Amino acid sequence: MSKQYYNNIWQETINDIQDLIQVENFQNEPDFLKKPSQDLFQHYAQNYIRYIGIYKKLEDCYDQMVHPQKKLNLKELLELAIIRMIENKKLVIQFNVHSNSYQSDMVNLDELITDLKLTPDYLEVPIPRYFKKETDKERLDERNFIIDKTLQDMDLGQPEETIIEEQYFLDTKLENIIEIIQRNERGRHGIQRVLQFKLLRKEKLRKENKTKRLAEGEEITDEQENEKAVLIIQKCFKGYKGREQVYFMREEEMKFLGIQRDSEDPKQLNSQFMKAQEQRQKMTLIQQQHMKDYDAKKIELKQLVQETEGPEIKEKKIKERIDWIDMYLDKTEGKKLPAKAIDFYDDKKRYPPTQEELDALKGGKKGAKKENKPEKKGKKGKKDKKEEKKDTIDLTTVIKINERVEEYLTTWGSTDDSTNFQQTFVTDVAKGLVRQSVDTQMNSLVDELIEIELDNRHLFLLKKPRKKPPKPKKIKPPKPKNFKVPGAGGVKGRDVFDLLSELLEYGIVKKLMPANLSDLKGGQNVLGATQEQQFATTPDPSYPQLRSALAEFVGMQLGSPILKEKLDKMSYFLFFGPSGSGKTLAIRALATECNAMLLDITPSSPEVQQKFSDKSSIGKTFYTVFYVAKVLHPTIIFMDNIEQVFGSAKKKKGVPAAPWAKLKKPLQDFKKAKFIEPTTRVVFIGCTNQPELMIMKDTKNFFEKKFFFPMLNYDTRLTLLNYFIEEKGIKLEPNFPLSTLAHLTEGYTAGSFKNIIDKIITTERIKKISDKPITINEFVDRLSRQPYVKSQADYDKLRTFFDEVTGTKERREKSKAVAVDPKKGGKKK
């Protein structure tokens, strides 16, 4: 696409950012946070929505631009926009206190979206595309090559997706089987007899009607009967052809208006999808080549600047510092010299203070001591400091964004690159950046010379050697609690790739089918805000909300080291919901889009069970997994059926004992020891479809974010059925009751839908579709064999767990209690 198009989008985004910065500056007002929570919620929600639009535009520009210098500037601005977007999302969650979804992570902004005249899909937050192809690319390519090569040597192909087995609820006893066959055979005979009787009755009625007409004197011949039959057939056929003609005319008109387009198989070479993929690959190669050329040119320019301008820069800097030393001597009447050469860069230490400044400084210190004495004795002063922190919003990211905007206006606002058709680097801009690095390098060389000059002047002018300034005392950080990590001794000294091979051998390293977060299909809930007011608990999140939350809280930190460092540094997540609701698909999508390695330590899997036989092997396995994940990050550590670990170790009424409860303590030890460092892109994800079996306290403390994968609503079921059927490359009849099928499938999950359609629409069935169209009865037959159906009582348990484990219920009840009695937290006198 034209370079000018994305330059214009970049310029529009810069204008949007400038407008938004002015809005952000309102937070500097002293009483800003004293506004009602509803006003603050609206303010930050609008900012969040605007940052989503800015992020999407910047991400598109960064993905499509080939200019190397612009891409570097864009990446800095893009990462800052992501950080500020998520900061605003957290503030939106903080001030979401006006509904029963008290401070829930799944915020419903449908009413605000309607007021802003935007569509619900505007709130979608995708994972940046550069995570997969740029971040640590060489290191990750080497890691992935070793995994692929090892799997190939072990004759382990890429595993297929999990297939849901159909269940046939038949008793194996011979008498019961015979009884079922007899019952079915009697039913078949009865149906045949009824059909036969219907034909006989129809024939009898026809004869009675003919006899009646003959009795009335009407002449009836065979020709008249044939003509009447022909007319009825013609009427039906003409009606059918007319409706068919209108249908095709409507289709052509929709295509002409651009509302609809021809359906095509994306896997075909001439499809629009394949053409777009080819164009993207070409664009990626051009981007990589331009970046290599730019890096090579920077090295060349740096040598050139050092040879041509280096001596002049050095001489100029030496003269500046010599003049500074002479001026310092004049101000102190030849009695004092600067303490260090680096004082030149500090405005406070560059020149000696005057007598008036010294007196004012002494008086200020005495007054400060008197004022601070009473505050140290009491506890009120500490409380005031905490209140001051709460009454301010950190705008560091906004300041950095403003700096990047100013840099854009300075560098590219006045640069004309209309003749740069290939979009290669601009030499003048590159030379300016190189000159800055040379200038910084010269500062260190000149400082060494000035230190020698200060030593000589001390001996010549002050007749004594210069005292070396005391080294500043290092403030010792508090010693962290020394938590022992189990299993470190058995792995110490081994190469990480040797450990990786061992994990591959035991089947812990998984290479799943690639996927995207967009494959987690689902419809928008446009009544979410209304449901929050009406429901007593938190309403189910929609799948678009779930996709955005996964991208913001998991994907962003897993894909970028800078975002991991600047954001919440969360590493432990819980995915729960009915079987087949998309938990494993979400993990596959995160692994694909963030180029992450997947380590599966599900204890119930046969490959892993032998590694958890005793205490020493448990510690060694966990340490190996966490160590390999830490060194070869980004990594997802995955544990399915987590309720078998975080459940009760002892059997209780109606609750079985957790078979793998012995793994809980080692996992908690790794978290307490902070083995996953804040800058390490490693996440631990536990999955379960029976979260009610888990101990609530341990679950809350261990997992930092919890994601609920709900049952499908009507809109989502309709979307999924359409998607899976179109994926097979067929088109249903216009009168196919797809809406009825969506109503019939209430309670089924996306995994069940996919399994049903895979079983029905086979290769052989596709060949017969033109002669025998698909009917709804085929779906009903397969639906009866699907095991993954949750009863309403079981699903209510999941909703209750979601409300409790996220802390929403506790915060909601505490808020209501304070509203009743602010002094005693709601306790009635």
Distance of CA 128 to the CA centre of its chain: 9
pLDDT of residue 497: 81
Give the pLDDT confidence of 424-480 residue by residue, as tens digits: 777 777 777 778 888 888 888 888 888 787 777 777 666 666 666 565 555 555 544
Tokens encoding 589 = 């999508």
- Work out the average pLDDT over 601-611: 75
> Residue 744 to residues 187, 523, 768, 798: CA-CA distances in angstroms?
25, 18, 25, 22
Residue 609 burial (CB count, 10 A): 12
813 and 538 in contact (C-beta within 8 Å)? no
Give the pLDDT confidence of 766-818 residue by residue, as tens digits: 888 777 888 888 887 777 776 656 677 777 788 888 888 888 788 877 777 76
pLDDT of residue 829: 37
Cα–Cα distance between 390 and 401 in angstroms, integer?
23
Least confident stretch, 160-169, 570-579, 648-657, 716-725: 160-169
User: Which residues, listed in sequence order, are joined to residue 684 by a DSSP beta bridge?
Assistant: 572, 637
End-to-end CA distance of the chain: 71
Closest to 589 in 3D by CA, of 156, 132, 164: 132
pLDDT of residue 234: 92
pLDDT of residue 461: 67
- Work out the average pLDDT over 577-603: 85
Residue 238 banded pLDDT, cuts 50, 70, 90:
very high
- Stated as kind and residue range, the H or E segment containing 637 is strand 635-639
Residue 484 burial (CB count, 10 A): 9
- Work out the average pLDDT over 737-753: 81
598 and 591 in contact (C-beta within 8 Å)? yes
- Work out the average pLDDT over 623-651: 83
Give the pLDDT confidence of 276-326 residue by residue, as tens digits: 778 778 888 887 788 888 888 888 888 888 888 888 888 888 888 888 777
> Residue 207 to residues 81, 203, 223, 791: CA-CA distances in angstroms?
83, 6, 17, 54
The secondary structure of residue 554, as a DSSP letter, is I
Mean pLDDT, the chain, whole residue set: 78
For 722-778, the DSSP string reads HHHHHHTT----TT--HHHHHHHTTTB-HHHHHHHHHHHS-HHHHHTTTTS---HHH
Threshold 0.85, pTM exceeds: no
